[in-house]
Amino acid sequence: MTQEQWGQLKQRLLNTVGKNNYTNWIEPLELSGVKDGVATFNVPTSFLGNYVSQNFGDLILYQVNSIAPEIRRIQFRTAASTARDPEAAKSGAAPQRSAQANNNTEPDIRHNTAPLDERFTFDTFVVGKPNELAHAAAKRVAEGGPVTFNPLFLYGGVGLGKTHLMHAIAWELTSRQPELSVLYLSAEQFMYRFVQALRDRKMMDFKEMFRSVDVLMVDDVQFIAGKESTQEEFFHTFNALVDQNKQIVISGDRAPGEIENLEDRIKSRLQCGLVVDLHPTDYELRLGILQSKCEQYSRQYPDLRMSDGVLEFLAHRISTNVRVLEGALTRLFAFASLVGHEITLELTQDCLADILRASERKVSVEEIQRQVADHYNIRLSDMIGPKRLRSFARPRQVAMYLCKQMTSRSLPEIGRRFGGRDHTTVMHGVRRIDELRAQDAQIAEDLEILRRTLEG
């Protein structure tokens, strides 16, 4: 695209956006150059660049494509960032992450894609048993080779790393192949843009834009469940890209087949590629993540010391959601740095009391009964049933004791779950075990083992 062509396009844009918009937002744009399918514009302020990108980006790209179809993306740069990075400005090359991570450099304003979190890279992703498959699949996509599975569908519960992996794919793809147009957005943003395009009668632009990307990533696809016309549009976009052999990555909170109110044809499309789940974190993975975050924190707070066992304690006690785990550590470090105190187990328990309480694992009476029956090699029916044989009665009392300790059930409720026994029977059992625990090493050990198994 030449300066002259850009001049002509500006005139066309004037007709579309009106005089005021034109003077404020389009007029100041200065074409800096085109390289690798990316057109770069100089803008006086990053605010202006952001605003134009958000409000007129699709329109400008659409117009630009009418004369220069090879341009896939437009970006805006401020004079400040140009001055600091003359090489990039000259070539109009895609931004490097190192430049973005540096706070002194104004970030490039990327067209289309939702902002990527610069902490969410493969480097910072800790791999363990529960996520190794998802990680391997994400890595494969990030290599950018020929498309082998389409789509890649990542699913799992909240805070298990779906978004992190998607951002990591986007970072790696764009750093390997800056010319690639990678579009990452949430399903919610997809819907929002769709609705906006409908309202502004810009469906052509919308379709154009989504069909011209090389890689499409849609996060939290379950959001479009029950939203019919968005699903319809998503389906068409999806098919158009698959037909062009463009890579698609989707995430959801559950497997495609299990998302309610999602059209069957979409479910089956989503199942066509590789479906991998992120399992709830286990102890080892949690510990690994805590250690890695802790290293980062110790750079930030070089004077803070942490007692042995704190990380292990947290890995044991905090739920599987990594976001909660991170939040706990952040608070812990912030608190400890305020009071200028070593991070001890006491401090941890104090400072995180609410989080620890909230993530206490809820154990059910049934689970306890099953585990205890298993442990003593008796049948569940014998433990709950009326037999008074000692070999059944003792495990029964152990189970009652654990129910009292580990659940919030009352004695009458527990009695009811043990074959309709009276609450005094339960009370007697609980007291008996409490006594035995102090005298009988075997019982004490049984209780310890059972408690640990039940706490997971």
Beta-ladder partners of 250? 153, 218
Q: Which is nearer to ligand ADP, 81 or 163 (CB)?
A: 163
Beta strands in 282-398 (DSSP E): none
Determine the straight-line distance between the first and last CA of the chain, rounded to whole angstroms: 62
Q: Which is nearer to ligand ADP, 158 or 358 (CB)?
A: 158
Q: Which is nearer to ligand ADP, 79 or 127 (CB)?
A: 127
Q: Which two tokens stand for residue 119?
A: 């902490």
Determine the 3-state secondary structure of 333 from DSSP: helix
The contact mask relative to ligand ADP for 212-231 (x = CB under 6 A, - = no) is: --------------------
Q: 187-199 vs 203-211: helix axis angle to the nearest 10?
A: 150
Pick the closest to residue 214 from 187, 189, 165, 249 (CA basis).
249
The residue at minimum Cβ distance from ligand ADP is 161
Q: Which of residues 146-165 bind ligand ADP (CB under 6 A)?
A: 156, 158-164
Exposed, middle or buried: residue 3 (CB in 10 Å: 0-12, 13-18, 19+)?
exposed
CA distance 346 to 328: 14
Give me the least distance between CB of 164 and ligand ADP, in Å please.
Answer: 3
Residue 407: left if φ>0, alpha if ψ -120 to 50, beta else—which one? beta
Q: Which is nearer to Mg ion, 162 or 193 (CB)?
A: 162
Beta-ladder partners of 43? 78
Residue 289 binds: one of ligand ADP, Mg ion, none (C-beta under 5 to 8 A by kind): ligand ADP
- Count, residues near Mg ion per rule CB under 5 A: 2
The DSSP letter of residue 320 is S
Give me the least distance between CB of 110 and ligand ADP, in Å please.
Answer: 20
Exposed, middle or buried: residue 305 (CB in 10 Å: 0-12, 13-18, 19+)?
exposed
Cis geometry, peptide bond prior to residue 386 (ω within 30 degrees of 0): no
Pick the closest to residue 161 from 186, 138, 182, 188 (CA basis).
138
- 163 touches Mg ion by CB under 5 A: yes
Q: Which two tokens stand for residue 101?
A: 């991570």
Give me the least distance between CB of 322 and ligand ADP, in Å please.
Answer: 3
Q: Which is nearer to ligand ADP, 305 or 323 (CB)?
A: 323
Q: Which of residues 124-143 bind ligand ADP (CB under 6 A)?
A: 124-126, 131
The residue at minimum Cβ distance from Mg ion is 163
The contact mask relative to ligand ADP for 286-305 (x = CB under 6 A, - = no) is: ---x----------------
Q: Which of residues 316-345 bind ligand ADP (CB under 6 A)?
A: 322-323, 326
Residue 208 binds: one of Mg ion, ligand ADP, none (C-beta under 5 to 8 A by kind): none
Give me the least distance between CB of 137 and ligand ADP, in Å please.
Answer: 14
Residue 130 binds: one of ligand ADP, Mg ion, none (C-beta under 5 to 8 A by kind): none
Residue 353 binds: one of ligand ADP, Mg ion, none (C-beta under 5 to 8 A by kind): none
- 131 touches Mg ion by CB under 5 A: no
Q: Which is nearer to ligand ADP, 215 or 278 (CB)?
A: 278
**Contacts for 245 with CB less than 8 Å, ≥ 6 apart:** 147, 150
Tally the residues of the chain. 456
Binding positions for Mg ion, rule: CB under 5 A: 162-163
Q: In the complex, which residues of this chain contact ligand ADP (CB under 6 A)?
A: 120, 124-126, 131, 156, 158-164, 289, 322-323, 326
